[in-house]
Chain A
């Protein structure tokens, strides 16, 4: 299998090392200048959907052509439940997609890619993580977020010319106990470095690292990759060329793959990709671009957060969903409408051809009840009307989001059909704001996958929108 395209997504918000040091009086994540912070309505699955969509777009592969989905993450919203089920729907992959979930180790991204290379039909490999740690440890200071995805097929421009793996026994360097959201470790510096060095070196052993333009190494911080570079036969420039940790922080299972995306986008032809997870396990790949590997990566941030604003987005300062009741959309009835909610699939009336959203019930134009043909909508739409829901104005189920992210807009947006028959239909959609004014009538917005809310322990995802000029490339 070959590499057909690569995608990456990192949230727009950044918490700088200086801001943490100002707030906490300490910052122990070496070599990290800023970490990415997910918005309150982003999680490992929404980021995975963003990265996956970019990779498929880069590869020019239609979602329905994907044969297998490999999802890697240590921070999926549920310890038990196939995140691939939601991700498949968010991306529009067919239900006959074979899926596998790789978790429990930051090496999961490499494991997912290695398994994908064994397949013989188009496979989407996605690694996504939103790492957390406590505020008085380097793990917490380094904790970042992001997602990267690779599309594998038979004739892509990239080739994995060699690969290796290693499993050593090095307990205690980094772990998260059952039920905890915080990654921690014993903090035995020399032992930690040795574990990383011997495991990575074992995986890389036999790969020809000479001549690689960039080395995208697992980066728990911005120091460790350089500490082990020599053992891998790499110089520091090569490691730097495959590193995003200084700008993104520790992106867990997505860490090295984000480095790969960034390096390829910068024109690297030969990249060493090496993932690592404590315990310890490692996967290494030598990736060669025989032709240019298409990349769509959104890695840079554009909004700096204060420490308080970052922690607010994480939910540290609110008490969650208040009592009082939320909009009662049962999970079964929610599931029935997922295509519309996750991917803005409208309907075209079988009787008169008018577009309708949601595609159910009698046609709004002709009144017929003949049902609808699927009519996927474009992701870019035009605001027909909107209002800003100010602090305190959200219904209870959206109160946590508002407490964490602040004002948002509730809008009605006209989205055009992707099909040849054209036409547009009005869709109610929330516009996520990050300090921007709410979009005005006639302004453009772009749909994005986000968390709507949790109810009865079950997370609901749906399409929201960003102001079009806030959409990062």
Chain B
């Protein structure tokens, strides 16, 4: 199969935007994406794939065309729903379309508006991606399910502590402070994070991502298109892997790993002919602090139970050997559910093509994005490589 490239990427700021609609946010992401893809315009796009959960209950049917037509993209549009992994999967679908030869230029993105609902409505929507017929009927929302995972993790690994969860939050807040698109651009201390109000024991407020409005998109093209447009800043899609699992945590064999993440990563590494040791930086799905620790282990960045050590030793800091969530992650960049996966790929593309501004890493070549739906009912892992032959054109 032919190669696919990401040749443009854009996102709105992530945050709370009472003056924007889900359509206007998506249109802004499309504009910025196309503007970043020198030489390609709306007329070149063959197809669009849009991820959204539909938080708030707005346009649940035809939620793809509702935004692409508004954004001036009158192309076949498919909406993808895989909870928080919606647009990670949208990008995967775009890659499949391009690699199969059915399309040459596909826009893949996502959007969500979460901050215009009442507190009660928000709690309703935050639970809809958990297992709704059994798990939710114990009176839990999402924070509760991840708290159960955190509790099990702290129980299984004696030296893991609540402070280790806080370390992920502290790091991601520090990173977000350098990202102009991030929602929570303030630093926090280890004590701030550990001593904050409990949301679901042992998770505190600082261990939980915020609710966020935002949209993000990337442009995926065939190698022919990439070759025809020398000016494009291209990152090759080296590998993409996806996996599903039981939606309810109680239905799985382990509470201290996300098996779908492991399997998605295996597929992506195999396709890319790479291993975790080749990854220069990663954007991982840290909806709750425990999720970042599990991601390190599921993605093979360390052995089981070793994630706290990566955090304590600063390995995943921006200046560490394996920077993780340089964007601020879901924790501090924000988590507009349907836009999150695409937003991770925006960060990968920017870092690999030298567009990351003040937070630019030093010449990374391989980036990995890890996007999880629910508590692990779906996961998608995407590996992008900078195109070293094009380096001079950055």
Contact = CB atoms under 8 A, between A and B. Distances in A.
Interface residues of B, number: 45
B137 A329 contact: yes
Given A393-B200, A428-B250, A441-B155, A412 B255 contact: yes
Contacts of A325: 57, 121, 124-125
A118 B201 CA distance: 55
Nearest to B198: A390
A328 B148 CA distance: 23
A327 B200 contact: no
Contacts of B147: 387
Interface string B240-255: 0000001011110001
A398 B137 CA distance: 9
Contact of A327 (B136, B151, B251): B136
Given A390-B199, A411-B138, A412-B250, A327 B123 contact: no
Nearest to A390: B198
> Interface on chain A toward B: helix, strand, loop, or mixed SS?
mixed
Interface string A304-327: 000000000000000000111111
Contacts of A412: 148, 249-250, 255
A163 to B, nearest CB: 44
Interface stretch (B29-37, B102-110, B127-135): B127-135
Interface of B is mostly: helix
B198 A396 contact: no
B172 interface: no
Contacts of B133: 327, 329, 333, 337, 358
Contact of A395 (B136, B199, B201, B250): B136
Nearest to A427: B250
Contact of B120 (A385, A396, A408): A396
A229 B5 CA distance: 93
B140 A387 contact: yes
A394 B137 contact: no
Interface in B207-240: none
Given A325-B121, A364-B246, A410-B148, A389 B251 contact: no
A441 B119 CA distance: 31
Interface string A324-349: 11111100010001000100000000
Given A393-B144, A396-B124, A385 B138 contact: no
B152 interface: yes
A386 interface: yes
Contacts of A390: 198-201
Looking at chain A, what size class is its interface with the partner chain?
35 or more
A389 B122 CA distance: 16
B86 to A, nearest CB: 20
B43 interface: no
B80 interface: no
Interface in B136-150: 136-141, 143-145, 147-150
B140 A385 contact: no
A200 B57 CA distance: 61
Interface in B231-282: 246, 248-251, 255
B118 A393 contact: no
Which of B120, B133, B139, B250 counts the most chain A CB atoms within 10 A? B139
B120 A388 contact: no
A130 B136 CA distance: 28
Contacts of B135: 428
A222 interface: no
A61 interface: no
Contacts of A462: 137
Contacts of B249: 412, 428
A170 to B, nearest CB: 46
A385 B136 contact: no
Nearest to A437: B201
Contacts of B122: 324
A429 interface: yes
8 contacts: A324-B118, A387-B150, A387-B200, A388-B198, A393-B141, A393-B199, A395-B140, A429-B138
Interface of A: 322-329, 333, 337, 341, 357-358, 364, 384-390, 393-396, 398-399, 401-402, 408, 410-412, 426-430, 438, 440-441, 452, 460, 462
